[in-house]
Every structure is written in structure tokens, then in C-alpha cells.
């Protein structure tokens, strides 16, 4: 069963990323597993969330993901 990730979890992981020097989308995309494992106090759920952040950043949907919503383009298409 997949655990629902709360906004607080997302912020906690973002803070860990910022504290480790990852403060741009480009740096987030460049993180590999070896670098992620060097982040202090990183957990497996944190690593899963980091990979999801990378995926959402690459697809251009990071803001929607952080807010808990879905892609606005899809919402507009559903109304038509």
C-alpha cells in the first residue's frame, strides 16, 4: 500500500535538499543515488520523494505536485 505524501513531508525533504546545497531545479535533476545517500538523515521515503520531485520537475508539473493538485491542463481538457 502506497503511503500518501503530505505537504509537510514534501517541505521536510525540500529543506534537507536546500541544506545540502541543492537549491535549483538543475541541481535537483543532477542528483544521483550516490549524492542522495550523502544527504544527512536521509530516509528511504525521503529518497522516494526526491525521485518524485525529479520526475515532476522534468515534466514541468512541480508546482502542481507540491500543492497536491493535478496538472491544470488536464483539468481544462476535462471541462470541454
Q: Determine the pLDDT at residue 5.
A: 82
pLDDT band at 3, cuts 50/70/90?
Answer: low
**Tens of pLDDT along 32-51?**
999 999 999 999 999 999 99
Cell numbers for 64: 502542481
Domain boundaries, the chain: 7-79
**Cα 3 off chain centre by:** 15
Q: Is 68 helix (H, G, I), strand (E, B) or coil?
A: coil
Whether the pLDDT of residue 1 is over 50: the answer is no
How many C-beta neighbours within 10 Å does residue 16 have?
Answer: 19
Mention every residue, 6+ apart, whose C-beta is less than 8 A from residue 61.
Answer: 71
Pairs from 24-30 (Cβ < 8 Å, separation ≥ 24): 25/57, 25/62, 28/53, 28/54, 28/57, 29/54, 29/57, 29/58
Q: Determine the pLDDT at residue 22.
A: 92
**Tens of pLDDT along 54-79?**
998 988 888 788 877 765 554 444 44
Amino acid at each position: 500500500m502506497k503511503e500518501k505524501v503530505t505537504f509537510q513531508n514534501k517541505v521536510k525533504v525540500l529543506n534537507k535538499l536546500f541544506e545540502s546545497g541543492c537549491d535549483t531545479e538543475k541541481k535537483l535533476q543532477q542528483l544521483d543515488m550516490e549524492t542522495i545517500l550523502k544527504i544527512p538523515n536521509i530516509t528511504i521515503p525521503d529518497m522516494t520523494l526526491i525521485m518524485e520531485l525529479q520526475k515532476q520537475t522534468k515534466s514541468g508539473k512541480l508546482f502542481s505536485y507540491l500543492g497536491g493538485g493535478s496538472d491544470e491542463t488536464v483539468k481544462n481538457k476535462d471541462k470541454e
